[in-house]
Amino acid sequence: MTKQVTANRVFNSTGKVREAYAVGLLRQMLEIPSPSYREMELAAYLAEAMTGLGFCAYVDEIGNVIGTVDRGVGPEIMLLGHLDTIQGQIPVRSTAGRLYGRGAADAKGPLAAMICAAAGATAFTGKITVIGVVEEETPCSRGAMAIRNTFTQPDAFIIGEPSGCFTVVLGYKGKLDLRYSVQCERTHPSSPVAKASELAVTCWTVLTEVLGETDHTAFDKPGVTLDSISADTSAADVCMSVRTPPGFDVPGFVGKVRSRLTAGELNIVNSVTACRADRRNPAVRALTAGIRRQLGQPTVMVKTATSDMNTLAEVWDVPMATYGPGDSKLDHADDEHIMLADYIRGVAVLSDALGELSDLPTRLTAEGAQE
């Protein structure tokens, strides 16, 4: 009797997750701080919450939370978002239809929507795996890398990032993270020899000259950022990142920069290539169909940032797309929030999209047909 009452509070008569539960889940996620490298408490909470929603859920050895719903024979769909946020908590509050909190848009809102959609995707037959990964906001994306290396590729995957409830993202620029380090003997400021701080400035100048024209707003041009610099006359450390367009020659670019530096070391911290999905692929079509079912006019776009879609797309050649409620302009903002109406609509779009993907041929079926 108690289990039935609890189920009635979570699911409505059609098997969908109730709006009140969906909002409560997201609010609780926002209440749990989860900056990069400190996602453990949130992962444990979600493993318990997903278990209560009918998932087989656990936290893996590096801290990713993984939940699976098996609804019989059919395709395997992966929904993947990230647990971590940037540093700096925002007081969680709800006002005028907005829910404020660090990660509301980037990307606890999209992840919560995925969990609720998968739990209530009654029209789907097959297996859905929902994953919240660690360290997406760091250069190495350790959580997504672990999933890529340990999971068999699914029949399709959707990445949870804020796209707006009526927009599907087809691709992202790549990213090249670089670190320049140099040390010099201590000398008087009036000495004519090059100082470490001056060499750091020279490295940045050379890097921008080799890149040529840059534009953070254009998908087909690189964008460059001086992430941090720590320098004095004897030691300098510079972190730089380049958002790379499709076809960007990373080895050639780094080689040209190194050839013009007279001292110090320029090292690659991490590199991931740009990705762009075909707008006709089944994941995109399912999401746009879901948007239309929610009376929206779907649009598609590419983004000049980078996400875990890049990491998975480097190895997995399957239908893919990125989708999630929330406004990406609010990523990392001091007033980060999500419109609750958009969040609920995003749950419905994802649920409808999963229903559409029930008809997707499985990888094993496709391989058998080729034989």
Catalytic residues: 84, 136
Contact residues for 364 (Cβ-Cβ < 8 A; gap 6+)? none
Kindly give, in sequence order, each residue whose CB lies less than 8 Å from that of residue 77, ignoring residues fewer than 6 positions away: 124, 126, 127, 128, 129, 154, 155, 156, 157, 158, 354, 357, 360
E strand segments, 196-292: 223-231, 235-244, 265-272, 275-276
Strand partners, 58: 66
* 295, two tokens: 């009376």
Q: Taking Cα atoms as reference points, which of 254, 280, 248, 278 lies closest to residue 267? A: 254
> Given the structure tokens 């590199």, which residue do they identify?
271
Give the CA count within 13 Å in the CB-facing half-sphere of 314. Answer: 18
Whether 138 contacts 36, CB under 8 Å: yes
Sheet holding 235-244, edge to edge: 223-231, 235-244, 174-183, 265-272
- Angle made by CA atoms 271, 276, 280, in degrees to the nearest 5: 160
* DSSP letter assigned to residue 83: -
Sign of torsion, CA 347 350 355 356? positive
- Rg over alpha carbons for the chain, rounded to the nearest Å, is 23
Enumerate residues 6+ apart whose C-beta is below 8 A from 348. Answer: 117, 290, 293, 294
Strand 275-276 versus strand 167-172 pairing type: antiparallel
- Classify strands 56-59 and 65-70 as parallel, antiparallel or unpaired: antiparallel
Residue/partner pairs of 186-193 with CB below 8 Å, 24 or more apart: 186/233, 186/234, 187/233, 189/233
